[in-house]
Structure formats: C-alpha cells, structure tokens
Structure 1
Amino acid sequence: MQDMAGHTHQLSQYKGRWVILNYWAPWCPPCLEEMPDLVTFHDAHARHDAVVLGVAVQYKTERSVRDYVDDMLISYPIILGDTQKSALLQPEVLPTTYIYAPDGSLYKVKRGALSRGWLETLLKEAASASK
C-alpha cells in the first residue's frame, strides 16, 4: 500500500509492533470524531510499539482528502484506499479498524468509532494475556 506521501507500507515491515489500520471517509461523522484520538494514540506509540495507518475511502478527490488531513493535523500515514482496492479489504461499515498483533496476525476488528482509551486498554489487556 502506498500512502499520500509516496511511502510504501507492508504489514510485514511492522513485525513486532501493533498495527492499527483504520478505514474512514471524509463524509463520515463517526470517522471524523475518532481522528483526534487516533492522532494522539499514534503520536504516543509510533516510536515504540504501535503505528496507525489511515485508509481513506469513498472520497470525491485526492485533494479533498489532503485538505482534510492538513486541517486535522493528522500525523499518521494516509493511504488512498480507492486507488488500491486490490490490495486492501473493503469494510462494510465506516469507520472500521483492523488491529494486527505484533506477530502480524489479525487480533481484532472494530466496527464503529473508537477512542484512544479503548485502544490503550486493548493493548494492556493483550500484554497481560500474553504473560
């Protein structure tokens, strides 16, 4: 998958880290409500144990996505999902977040909005369960 900055992302390159793959659309109110939490979560974890990747779908133009990303100060990579359909899942509900464990396996699918607190709790519970 290639992000809007031209960087390529593969799940395998994040081995040993959690990957939060969040599908969203500019017209989706719950998607937009969860973004500040995703930004703060990514900023707190990106250098250590987790990364957020956003996948924009069902947008009018690339420019509309880019403007939104700039306005919201989104710090995590954004992939234009509509241009890479063959490489990506297509969720039935927006937002949908696929959470991959550090070993690369799909750990959880969350349909609907999430919060930073929910993500933090999920990671803590997973760490406790693996001990």
Structure 2
Amino acid sequence: MQRGGAAVLTALLMSAGLAACREPLAEVRAAPSFDLPDLAGGKVSLTSLKGRVVVLDFWATWCGPCLKEIPDYAEFWHKNQGRGVEVIGVVFDSGEPQEIQDFVRENRIPYRQLLGDDKLQDI
C-alpha cells in the first residue's frame, strides 16, 4: 500500500508541475535602457550593444548562488566570444569599484563587469 501511495503522490506532483508549464509566460518586454560604468572606467549603454547577442549576469559578491554560476558564465564566454556572443556581468551592492575589481581579479572572472545602479536594480 505504501508503494502505491508513493506512486500516486509522485504522479500528482508531476502533473501539477506539468500544469504549471501550460500557464502563459509573463508579458515580453524590451530590456530597459541603461548607461552603466564598467570597471575599466568606460561606460556601456544598452544602445551600444544593439545587434549583438548579449548575456547579462546580474550578481553580487555576497550572493552565494550568483557566485556558483560565475564559472559557468566564464566557460560560456570562453567558448563563444569568437562567435559574437558577449557576456557582461552587472554587479550590485558589492562595495567600492576597487573592491569589486579586486574581487573580479582574485576570482578570475574574465568577462566585462558593469556597476549596477539603484535604478536598474528596481526594475
């Protein structure tokens, strides 16, 4: 009886998950415009990236799950940088630019980093 109950419970959970997949996606919107400084002292705007394939990684130095993803983004960047794909990190709430630059260097994050602002974070 316990095995049958576990099978029924598993089937119910799976069907609930599949039902959720049928829900329509949220409204598709264009990315919000931004103009952010990078760690090299330059500026990057959304319009300067027009026509490119860009992966934006929003992260913070104190965010454990964010830090776990960085090696995957780095590997993706290494494999695809010659194909016109750009990976850009947008770091939030992580200290002064020099502290962030030190963190990026110490952790060997190879792709470009932008300093996120409150306006972009609130979107």
Category of TM-score, reference length = shorter chain = 0.5 to 0.7
Query: Residue 113 of structure 1 corresponds to which residue in structure 2?
Result: none
Equivalenced residue count is 88
Query: Identity of aligned pairs, percent?
Result: 36
Which residue, 69, 78, 95 being the options, matches 1:34? 69
Runs of 4+ in 1 over 6 A off after TM superposition: none
Q: Per-residue displacement from partner, 1:33-63 (whole Å, max 9, x unpaired)?
A: 0001111111221221311111110112223
Counterpart amino acid of residue 26 in structure 1: T
Q: Which has the higher contact order (CA 8 A, sep 6+)?
A: 1
Query: Residue 103 of structure 2 corresponds to which residue in structure 1?
Result: 68
2:121 paired with 1:90: yes
C-alpha distance in structure 2 between counterparts of 1:33 and 1:62, whole Å: 21
Q: Gapped runs of 5+ residues in structure 2?
A: 1-35
C-alpha distance in structure 2 between counterparts of 1:70 and 1:29, whole Å: 18
Query: Residue 6 of structure 1 corresponds to which residue in structure 2?
Result: 41
Q: Flag the structure with higher helix content.
A: 2
> 1:16–1:49: 8 Å Cα contact kept in structure 2?
no
* Residue 91 (structure 1) shift: 5.6
Q: Gapped runs of 5+ residues in structure 1?
A: 93-131
* Residue 2 (structure 1) shift: 2.2
For the pair shown, which has the larger CA radius of gyration, 1 or 2? 2
1:74 is paired with a residue of what secondary structure?
coil
5 Å-filtered alignment, 1:1-131, equals 1-82=36-117, 85-86=118-119, 89-90=120-121
- RMSD between superposed Cα atoms in Å: 1.9
